Amino acid sequence: MSIKQFSISIIIILFVFKGFSQNLSPQKQTQVDQYKEMITKYKAEGNKSEAANYLNKIAYIYWENGISKSAIDYFNQSLEIYLGIGNKDASKSIYLNLGKIYSDMNQLENALTNYQKGLKISRTHKKSTEIASCLISIANIQTSLKKYNDAITSLEEAMNVSKEINNEKNLRNCYLKLSENYKNAGNKQKSDEYMVLYSSFDKNVQNIELKKIQEQKDNQLNQLYNKTTQIEEEKKLTESQLKTTVSSLKEFETLSIEQKKQIYMLNIEKQLNEMKKKEIEDKLRQTRMFIFSIIAFAILVILVAIISFRAYKQKKKTNIVLESQNKEILLQKDKIENQNLKITDSITYAQRIQQSFLSSEESLQKHIPESFIVFKPRDIVSGDFYWFIETGKKSPFKKFHNNETIEDDKLIISAVDCTGHGVPGAIMSMIGYNQLNAIAFRGVIETNEMLNELHKGIRSALRQYKNDNRDGMDMAICAYNKEQNILDFSGAKNPLIYIKNNEVNIIKGDRFPIGGIQKEPERLFTKHTLKIDQPTDFYIFSDGFIDQFGGEQGEKYGIKRFADLLLKINSESIEKKKSILEETFIEWQGNNYTQTDDQLLMGFKINPA
């Protein structure tokens, strides 16, 4: 086998071995799985910083075990979070780690890109040591890519920064790298100059390092000497104590038997005296404890008595204050109830006024026999209102137009949902009602043109050209031409639902409301025209029904469920339809939910002439 073939075999074996070693040990894999659980937990809690921290930990495990691709993947996930939350320090560290990994993988362009991103962040923080280290790392990659001039530029900047902070190690590295790059670039003179500087600094740095090592050794020797001295002193003390003990034993042995007995008896007497003394002390201690307990109990009884007496006096004072406060509360309650009664009377009177200008359901049925109105305010007065009028020969405004008819006979019907509900909504409804009458009086009866004029009128009435008032209304308006059997529809956000051939059709209104903020140069509404060639049911409404919360899940009723309901009851009589819709609303609302908004629904069936 040739040397070349042997080398190729070695490379293949190493590659295969590397492929087999890409798995973590069971212990490390368990640790990674635990970290993944923590990541899921912190992401659910919205704690992005901790989630990124555990992604970093996983990346380090893969990196330490030589699984570079997985390490890069987890570092990039962590980097994305840190960039999102603006943590520049953490982002810089990850860029530098990615640079090292790509460098080890010999993906030099990727390594260079990440080192440069890390350098950019270090520059913003003005950390000279980090800037110098990044520049040296970048220069190493540039040298490997044979971009010698770029490497020289990076190293010269690193050299200048290292001089400013007096970092001799970095200076030594810069001089050596500059010598190598100038040599590769063909500038031998510069290469020799930096090699001389490197040699000088290398000796200096080595001397400093040797000095540090020597100092460490001296410290260790001093510590060892002190320890040895301490041990010798302890040894001498022990030997001295041992000699004393031996001497005492020798003296004891020289005593006569009688003397030994006397010493023994004295020791026993001494022990008995100590036992009696201890017994007396224990009894005294118990007696003191008993006396202290009696004193403490007496003090406790006195304290309880004092506290109870004070509590009694305080309770008496509190009862007097409470009686006074209760009287004041009852007076205030009566006053508030009187005020509420007056307010309720006023709102009830406003309800009568509102009902007086709204036409009745019977009036609508005179024009379209098969029609109904469901009108259910959330409060006493409503922000929803309905409006209809007949034009042409039967127009109530005919006398104001020099007896000229306004085109063909039409019936114009509208369901309007004003901003808000209660009193504010009712005031808006009166403004809208009067504006519609004024528009019809001027002879404007095309549905889209009526919405255009109403939008201008509302913005003018509320001075929305000069302020940020956003009040307005959503509405649907229909105009039925009896002679031509045509129905025109225009909507400001609100739709028209019609059922024909037992199929539900929805025409959406324009996406903007009447009034409010206008960003476009001119607000123009769309007119939709339907030819009625067979009986057709039409429905216009506010969002009070479809936005009502209820049911088992506490959700909104919704437009789809509403359209399905209308189709389901399509074959019923007009009276039955109204009844079913009212009952469905009550059942959906149930006992757990209050009415969300004002409710308005108008339905009418047109049979073509």
What lies within 8 Å, CB to CB, of 101 at 6+ separation is 63, 68, 71, 72, 75, 111
- The pLDDT, as a whole number, for residue 188 is 87
Banded model confidence at residue 12, pLDDT cuts 50, 70, 90: very low
* Number of neighbours of residue 59 by Cβ within 10 angstroms: 25
- The pLDDT, as a whole number, for residue 268 is 74
> Is residue 406 scored above 80 in pLDDT?
no
Note the pLDDT tens digit of each residue in 544-586. 999 999 998 899 999 999 999 999 999 999 999 999 999 999 9
CATH superfamily of 360-606: PPM-type phosphatase domain (3.60.40.10)
Q: Could you tell me if 574 and 506 are in contact, meaning their C-beta atoms sit under 8 angstroms apart?
A: no
> Is residue 397 scored above 80 in pLDDT?
no
Q: Please name which of 287, 10, 36 lies closest in space to residue 295, comparing C-alpha atoms.
A: 287
> Is residue 15 scored above 60 in pLDDT?
no
Banded model confidence at residue 273, pLDDT cuts 50, 70, 90: confident
Over residues 226-254, the mean pLDDT reads 66
From residue 594, give the alpha-carbon distance in Å to each of 340, 554, 558, 598. Answer: 21, 11, 17, 11
Over residues 296-312, the mean pLDDT reads 85
CATH class of residue range 21-213: mainly alpha
Over residues 171-186, the mean pLDDT reads 89
Banded model confidence at residue 258, pLDDT cuts 50, 70, 90: low
Q: Could you tell me if 455 and 474 are in contact, meaning their C-beta atoms sit under 8 angstroms apart?
A: no
Banded model confidence at residue 603, pLDDT cuts 50, 70, 90: very high
Comparing 135 with 233, the larger pLDDT belongs to 135
Q: Could you state, in order of their start, the residue ranges of all structural domains in the chain?
A: 21-213, 255-357, 360-606
Handedness of CA 295, 297, 302, 306 (dihedral sign): positive
Over residues 269-283, the mean pLDDT reads 77
pTM for the model stands at 0.49
From residue 543, give the alpha-carbon distance in Å to each of 419, 427, 540, 575. Answer: 12, 19, 10, 22
> Is residue 233 scored above 80 in pLDDT?
no
Amino acid at 98: L
What lies within 8 Å, CB to CB, of 414 at 6+ separation is 386, 387, 388, 436, 475, 476, 477, 478, 540
Three-class DSSP category at 479? strand
> Is residue 324 scored above 50 in pLDDT?
yes
Three-class DSSP category at 256? coil
Banded model confidence at residue 389, pLDDT cuts 50, 70, 90: very high
Over residues 345-365, the mean pLDDT reads 82
The encoded tokens of residue 295 equal 């004193």
First-residue to last-residue Cα distance in the chain: 105
Banded model confidence at residue 401, pLDDT cuts 50, 70, 90: low
> Is residue 466 scored above 70 in pLDDT?
yes
d(CA 518, CA 306): 74
> Is residue 595 scored above 70 in pLDDT?
yes
Banded model confidence at residue 199, pLDDT cuts 50, 70, 90: confident
Q: Please name which of 171, 100, 582, 75 lies closest in space to residue 375, comparing C-alpha atoms.
A: 582
> Is residue 343 scored above 50 in pLDDT?
yes
> Is residue 370 scored above 70 in pLDDT?
yes
Over residues 393-413, the mean pLDDT reads 65
Over residues 420-427, the mean pLDDT reads 81
From residue 510, give the alpha-carbon distance in Å to each of 200, 206, 373, 495, 540. Answer: 82, 82, 24, 9, 14
- Average pLDDT of every residue of the chain: 84
d(CA 328, CA 239): 94
> Is residue 526 scored above 60 in pLDDT?
yes
> Is residue 505 scored above 60 in pLDDT?
yes
d(CA 544, CA 567): 19
Banded model confidence at residue 110, pLDDT cuts 50, 70, 90: very high
Per-residue H/E/C for 408-466: CCEEEEEEEEECCCHHHHHHHHHHHHHHHHHHHHCCCCCHHHHHHHHHHHHHHHCCCCC
The encoded tokens of residue 485 equal 């059997």
> Is residue 423 scored above 90 in pLDDT?
no
Note the pLDDT tens digit of each residue in 117-171. 989 888 888 788 889 889 999 999 999 999 999 989 998 898 998 888 888 788 8
> Is residue 404 scored above 70 in pLDDT?
no
> Is residue 272 scored above 90 in pLDDT?
no
